[in-house]
């Protein structure tokens, strides 16, 4: 993805030009002249705050020191103790399956840059002697090293530890991995060095420069271990003491992660579009210079809330039920529940008993969905609408991406539109028209089948809030049909009711306010293309500069019992992700004469939980793929793309017949829905 050096100059000019006195949209900003990046972060990996006082960028790794010094806030556990830990937001190094902060088994002793700290060897099974290092993000590396402790330390038999070489070992690396590998003691990926007989106290292993996130060292059995056991000394500590691991690299990480604290706004506001400005950069002879062609970009997620804590924390009572407690009590006072305890049964055996929940024991954490939104889907395009609920608090997650060791993105500033709320809250729920109170409490439909729905809204107001006179419901179906609108149960004729794309837009004759606050029911028909679809909606004022206010799922009426905006869909048949593939012509003729120069391709995507990469794939009649043209991210529902007869390099395919398919990235070729198409010119 190519980044543009100046993002949306025209939009920028409009945003920062003087605004009329009636305009209510303001800009909340981080970086540049806004809130500083440094000091407002709650988590981060490889973020450089020092290169610029107003921007953030990835840290540059240099080969004159181990990479560990570029990383902060290490955890010695695979699953750190802090609440809300998210993979990739903190570097970790742990021993064995899980890790410990114990002074004698703490993996951080081996990455602290000094041979004065080490973990003493034991007589335990060699199989448990392995360490895993997670840098948090992929970093360009080319060398692994390890050595024994510094001089001055000795084994119990007087052997100097600086000469206590590791007899046998294996070291593996990976750019990224999954828990299936992390949860084993197997190699984490490519093995870069191994030995069954070693006498060197210092070991270096060079490999081609590549992105590395995970490193795993594993002690192996050697002939020395077999000899020691045969001599009857198996109860003594094994030979081989690691004093320090080191990793060396050069360049910029593939990713750098930044996460804000929960930031407070001045008041409850509605949120609009999210913008940012990045400067593509390249390292040239050790100096960072701007380069508009650098393949770098930013990825941003956000969530908003109306109180400072996005989660609900529970403690068990003496009756085994749960009660809400503060975050501080949950984190600092309460203990994790032990699943069982083993006691003597009085007959020379033992019995395992379940531990009954009791006060002082943690009873779990839940997301506060009433007061906070979930994290938005990651967006890589500045100027996107994130559909965030109203809020007085906001939190952001930012990832700076790069595809080359010498390129990076400097994030100069980020801003988001805000305006005063129209109502304290607008609650909505949806149900099938023929089943307003479903047994399971959620509307259920057949996938891809047009269904009649009832969508009900109810607003809550506080003094001074202006209200609204229009609403928009996103159905996800371009074949949606508006049917009726009811105000307090009475059918009315709205000023306007139209389908725009996949949204139903309705303008009301009278404004909904604190004084005049009726219930609103909208009857419409639409197809559902997702297994679970949320029918998002928003209210707004026609002709006003105020931002729209999202409709929040909840209990809007006793007539409906779904208490939410989600609809579930199912299919009795095996689902094909791509269906209804059609072409505007049987032949594409890219010769510039204006006739069939471009092929229009229509299709429908089904059952996608979120937007995914979609490709156009072209195959010769012998089955060989000749083109793979990316179409970006697409979600469920009808889609339309165009193809100009060229492959991914921009070259026109030779004349002939081909099979053209539309497929989801990483899906099997056999899942493609394909049609023949000719190329002629």
Cα separation of 299 and 242, whole Å? 39
Q: Determine contact, residues 396/259, Cβ cutoff 8 Å.
A: yes
Any domain includes 647: yes
pLDDT digits (tens, 9 = 90+) for 459-477: 999 999 999 999 999 998 8
Cα–Cα distance measured from residue 483 to residue 496, given in angstroms and rounded to the nearest whole number: 12
Question: Both 562 and 430 in a single domain?
Answer: yes
213 shares its domain with 165: yes
pLDDT value at residue 12: 41
Helix, strand or coil for residue 197?
coil
Task: Report CA-CA distances (Å) from 286 to 283, 398, 404.
Answer: 6, 26, 15
Q: Is residue 471 assigned to a domain?
A: yes
Residue 451 lies in a domain: yes
| 550 and 521 part of one domain | yes
Sign of torsion over alpha carbons 161, 164, 170, 175: positive
Q: Kindly state whether residues 504 and 458 are assigned to the same domain.
A: yes
Q: With 50 as the cut, is the pLDDT of residue 11 above it?
A: no
| 586 and 565 belong to one structural domain | no
Q: 358: domain range?
A: 311-367
The answer to whether position 360 is within a domain reads yes
Indicate the DSSP class of residue 26: E
Task: Please report, for residues 386, 412, 541, 564, the alpha-carbon distance to residue 389 in angstroms, rounded to integers and kept in the order given.
Answer: 9, 26, 17, 15
- Can you give the CATH number for the domain in which 84 is found? 2.60.120.260
Measured torsion, CA atoms of residues 154, 155, 159, 163, in degrees rounded to the nearest 10: -70
Establish if 4 belongs to a structural domain: no
pLDDT tens digits, 292-302: 999 999 999 99
- The tally of domains found in the chain comes to 5
Between CA 617 and CA 620, with CA 618 as vertex, the angle to 5 degrees is 145
Please indicate whether residue 493 or residue 22 has the higher confidence score (pLDDT): 493
Tens of pLDDT, residues 419-475: 999 999 999 999 999 999 998 899 999 988 999 999 999 999 999 999 999 999 999
Q: Specify the higher pLDDT residue, 256 or 635.
A: 256
pLDDT computed for residue 143 by the predictor:
98
Same domain for 168 and 212: yes
Please report whether residue 2 resides in a domain: no
CATH of the domain at 586: 2.60.40.1930
**Do 489 and 627 belong to one domain?**
no
Share of the chain above pLDDT 70, in %: 90
Q: Is there a single domain that holds both residue 114 and residue 205?
A: yes
| 144 and 219 inside one domain | yes
Average pLDDT, integer, range 326-352: 67
Q: Are residues 533 and 518 located together in one domain of the fold? A: yes
CATH number at residue 390: 2.60.120
DSSP secondary structure of 552-621: EES---SS----SSEEEEE-SSPPPSEEEEEES-SEE--SSSSSSSSEEEEEEE-S-SS-EEEEEEEE-T
Q: How far is CA 640 from CA 281, 361, 394, 652, in A?
A: 35, 55, 35, 21
Mention every residue, 6+ apart, whose C-beta is less than 8 A from residue 485: 491, 492, 494, 497, 506, 520, 521, 522, 523
Q: Is residue 3 part of a domain?
A: no
416 and 461 co-located in one domain = no
Parallel/antiparallel/unpaired status of strands 190-195 and 255-260: unpaired
Boundary residue ending a domain (222, 249, 276):
249
- The answer as to whether 589 is a domain residue is yes
Residue 367 has pLDDT above 90, yes or no: no
Indicate the helix (H) or strand (E) that contains 331: helix 327-332
pLDDT of residue 54: 95
CATH number at residue 527: 2.60.40.740
Beta carbons of 618 and 652 less than 8 angstroms apart: no
Under the banding of pLDDT at 50, 70 and 90, the label for residue 606 is confident
């Amino acid at each position: 993805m190519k980044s543009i050096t100046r993002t949306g100059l025209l939009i920028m000019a409009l945003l920062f030009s003087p605004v009329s006195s009636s305009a209510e949209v303001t800009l909340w900003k981080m970086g540049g002249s806004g809130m500083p990046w440094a000091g407002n972060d709650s988590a981060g990996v490889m973020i450089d705050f020092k290169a610029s006082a107003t921007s953030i960028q990835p840290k540059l790794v240099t080969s004159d020191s181990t990479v560990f010094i570029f990383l902060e806030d290490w955890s010695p556990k695979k699953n750190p103790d802090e609440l809300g830990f998210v993979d990739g937001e903190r570097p970790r190094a742990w021993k064995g399956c899980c890790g410990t902060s114990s002074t004698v088994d703490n993996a951080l002793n081996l990455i602290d840059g000094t041979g004065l700290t080490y973990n003493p060897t034991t007589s335990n099974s060699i199989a448990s002697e392995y360490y895993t290092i997670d840098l948090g993000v992929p970093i360009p590396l080319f060398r692994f090293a390890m050595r024994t402790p510094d001089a001055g330390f000795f084994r119990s038999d007087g052997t100097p530890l600086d000469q206590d070489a590791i007899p046998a070992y294996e070291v593996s690396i990976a750019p990224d991995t999954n828990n299936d590998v992390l949860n084993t003691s197997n190699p984490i990926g490519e093995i870069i060095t191994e030995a069954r007989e070693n006498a060197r106290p210092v070991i270096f292993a060079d490999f081609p420069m590549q992105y590395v996130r995970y490193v795993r060292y594993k002690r192996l059995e050697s002939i020395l271990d077999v000899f020691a056991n045969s001599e009857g000394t198996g109860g003594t500590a094994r030979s081989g003491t690691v004093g320090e691991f080191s990793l060396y690299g050069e360049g910029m990480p593939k990713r750098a992660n930044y996460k804000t604290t929960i930031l407070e706004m001045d008041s409850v506001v509605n949120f609009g579009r999210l913008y940012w400005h990045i400067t593509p950069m390249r390292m040239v002879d050790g100096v960072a210079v701007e380069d508009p062609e650098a393949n770098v970009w930013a990825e941003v997620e956000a969530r908003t809330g109306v109180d400072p804590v996005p989660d609900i924390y529970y403690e068990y009572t003496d009756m085994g039920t749960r009660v809400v407690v503060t975050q501080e009590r949950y984190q600092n006072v309460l203990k994790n529940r032990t699943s069982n305890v083993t006691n003597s049964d009085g007959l020379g055996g033992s019995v395992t008993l379940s531990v009954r929940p009791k006060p002082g024991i943690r009873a779990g954490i839940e997301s506060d969905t009433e007061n906070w939104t979930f994290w938005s889907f990651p967006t890589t395009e500045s100027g996107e609408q994130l559909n965030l609920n109203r809020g007085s608090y906001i939190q952001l997650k930012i990832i700076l991406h790069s595809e080359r060791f010498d390129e990076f993105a400097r994030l100069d500033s980020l801003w988001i539109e805000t305006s005063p709320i129209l109502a304290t809250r607008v609650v909505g729920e949806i149900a099938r028209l023929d089943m307003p109170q479903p047994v399971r409490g959620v509307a259920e439909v057949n996938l891809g089948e047009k269904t009649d729905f009832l969508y009900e809204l109810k607003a809550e107001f506080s003094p001074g809030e202006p209200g609204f006179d229009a609403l928009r419901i996103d159905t996800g179906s371009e074949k949606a049909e508006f049917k009726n609108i009811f105000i307090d149960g009475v059918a009315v004729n709205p000023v306007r009711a139209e389908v725009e794309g996949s949204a139903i837009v309705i303008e009301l004759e009278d404004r909904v306010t604190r004084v005049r606050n009726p219930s609103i029911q909208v009857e419409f028909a639409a197809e559902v293309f997702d297994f679970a679809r949320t029918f998002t909606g928003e209210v707004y004022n026609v002709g006003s500069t105020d931002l729209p206010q999202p409709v929040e799922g909840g209990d809007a009426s006793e007539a409906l019992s779904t208490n939410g905006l989600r609809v579930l869909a199912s299919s009795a048949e095996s689902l094909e992700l791509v269906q209804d593939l059609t072409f505007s012509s049987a032949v594409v003729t890219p010769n510039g004469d204006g006739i069939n120069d471009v092929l229009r391709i229509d299709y429908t995507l089904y059952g996608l939980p979120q937007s995914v990469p979609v490709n156009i794939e072209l195959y010769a009649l012998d089955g060989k793929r000749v083109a793979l043209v990316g179409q970006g991210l697409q979600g469920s529902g009808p889609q339309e793309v165009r193809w100009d007869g060229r492959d991914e390099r921009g070259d026109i395919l030779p004349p002939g017949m081909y099979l053209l398919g539309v497929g989801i990235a990483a899906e099997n070729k056999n899942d493609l829905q394909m049609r023949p198409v000719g190329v002629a010119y």
